[in-house]
Amino acid sequence: MALVDARGLTKTYRQGDVDVPALRGVDLALEPGEFTALVGPSGSGKTTLLNLIGALDTPTDGTIHLNGTDLGAMGEAELADYRLLHVGFIFQAYNLIPVLSALENVEFVMVLQGRPRAECRRRARYYLERVGLAELAHRRPKALSGGQQQRVAVARALAAGPRLVLADEPTANLDSETAAGLLALMGELNHEEGVTFLFSTHDRRVMERARRIVRLRDGRIAEPDEGHGSHAVP
């Protein structure tokens, strides 16, 4: 069974008196353990598709099933639990909480999940170390660079133990060495723990790591491209 099965997804936004289509009948299935890059020009619908799969927005038409469960049949509380327990988000805008330290930001989702405090602290420290920020754990976001804030956001998403990670341009603000390290970490989690990743990206480094590339153009799947075995994450 597919982990994610999206069928006929359409999303239209109202701008003044005009309906602007962002997605036009997209079908996309993700099997457990995929490492997939979603690519296409700006405005092609990549972020919209991530937001719909992550239940941050609702489609105008179409369905999304997670492991056989229809997201459209869930109430707000059930959708909140879905986001909290099953999906890790890495946003372009980081979405860190300004009054919390890097360590507390990484702990935050785990605390909401109800994990023991000691486990939250241990996992937060571990993932901050993995993204190279152990020494900055007690700094607040305003005292971190954009690239450092992005690494905190990555650590927060991974530490919560999601089945699915949705990453919107996760390497956009990172230097080559840091980006390579983060992609390697995500590749390890994908390989060792079966975490499914869907990236929205323009970054060739992400595409080269992906085992599957899905191309969007004008809100439609334009050219699915599989079989990147030579670039597969080990």
- Lowest mean pLDDT, pick from 18-32, 75-89, 105-119, 169-183: 169-183
- pLDDT tier at 223 (50, 70, 90 boundaries)? low
Section 41-48 average pLDDT: 91
Q: What is the pLDDT of residues 75-87, one digit of tens each?
A: 999 999 999 999 9
Q: What is the pLDDT of residues 161-209, one digit of tens each?
A: 999 999 998 888 788 888 888 888 888 888 888 899 999 998 898 999 9
Q: Does 159 score more than 90 pLDDT?
A: yes
Q: Does 234 score more than 50 pLDDT?
A: no
Q: Does 58 score more than 80 pLDDT?
A: yes
pLDDT at residue 25, as a whole number: 94
- pLDDT tier at 230 (50, 70, 90 boundaries)? very low
48, amino acid identity = T
Handedness of CA 83, 167, 64, 33 (dihedral sign): negative
CATH number of 32-44+82-229: 3.40.50.300
CA distance 2 to 222: 21
CA distance 101 to 110: 15
**Cβ neighbours for 197, distance < 8 A, ≥ 6 positions apart:** 34, 35, 36, 164, 165, 167, 186, 190
Section 57-67 average pLDDT: 94
pLDDT at residue 178, as a whole number: 83
pLDDT at residue 106, as a whole number: 97
Average pLDDT value for the chain = 90
CA distance 14 to 21: 9
Backbone angles phi, psi at 199, to 5 degrees: -105, 135
Handedness of CA 213, 217, 219, 220 (dihedral sign): negative
* Domain positions in the chain: 32-44+82-229
pLDDT at residue 43, as a whole number: 87
